[in-house]
Amino acid sequence: MNKNDFHISHVGSASILLIFTVLSLVSFAVLSLSSASADYRLSENLAKRQLMYYEACHKGNAFVAAVNSGYSEGETDGIIEKSIPFTDNQTLDIAITAGASGHSAEGETVCTVTKWKVVSHADYDYDTPLPVMK
């Protein structure tokens, strides 16, 4: 037997396993970071939209208080309507109907909010099929 006949097949297996493990950990870390970044951007956009919605609600409450105080501009058939935009394609539509009695005991106008609705004005086509298989 020759002393130079030795097998070197297991010499780098530990290094290859270590490299594979490090690459796996780095790829999972990058995926986690990109997912966290996307979630942060989404929550930031939702927070901005919520803030704009609540500002529109605040303006709507001021409109209701103005109607209660006697504001009647734009009244048609006892209904006063107002549309408050809060995004590029959404509005808060409010409709108020004056009460039958007209005034309360304190002298304020009695009114009923008949519509308080978020309306989208964008043209979305939700019936668009996906080109999966034809």
Local structure of 117: helix, strand or coil = strand
CA distance 83 to 55: 13
- Segment 48-93, tens digit of pLDDT: 999 999 999 999 999 999 888 888 888 888 899 999 999 989 999 9
- Segment 105-125, tens digit of pLDDT: 565 557 889 999 999 988 877
Q: Domain-by-domain residue ranges, the chain?
A: 13-120
Q: Which two tokens stand for residue 42?
A: 């989404």
Local structure of 27: helix, strand or coil = helix
Q: Which two tokens stand for residue 53?
A: 């919605």
Q: How far apart are the first and last CA of the chain?
A: 68
